[in-house]
């Protein structure tokens, strides 16, 4: 099954939007981690936030890989 160029463009835009959303969540999560550390929150809370961060980073890498592999597009914005 082949995708038309329009379908490919739509999927590429969808991936880019998902990446932006993930990066927004990463920035929020990093701010929560920083705040938790400054306030001396429990290690369990910080570990929970770090675990969530790792999941976001893993998904971000998957989406970037899909863009590079299927659409020959390099999409990287620095946080």
Q: With a cut of 50, say whether residue 27 has pLDDT above it.
A: yes
- pTM of this structure: 0.70
Task: Give the CB-side neighbour count of residue 10, counting CA atoms within 13 A.
Answer: 5
Which two tokens mark 65?
């890989």
Q: Is the pLDDT of residue 20 over 90?
A: yes
Alpha-carbon span 44 to 30, nearest angstrom = 16
pLDDT tens column, 33-75: 888 888 887 888 888 889 999 999 999 999 988 888 887 766 5
Q: Which stretches of the chain are DSSP H helices? A: 5-38, 43-71
Q: Is the pLDDT at 1 greater than 60, yes or no?
A: no
């Amino acid at each position: 099954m082949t995708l038309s160029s329009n379908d490919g463009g739509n999927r590429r835009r969808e991936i880019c939007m998902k990446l932006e959303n993930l990066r927004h969540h990463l920035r929020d999560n990093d701010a929560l981690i920083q705040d938790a550390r400054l306030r001396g929150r429990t290690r369990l809370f910080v570990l929970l936030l770090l675990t969530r961060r790792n999941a976001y980073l893993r998904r971000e890498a998957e989406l970037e890989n899909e863009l590079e592999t299927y659409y020959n597009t390099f999409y990287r914005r620095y946080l």
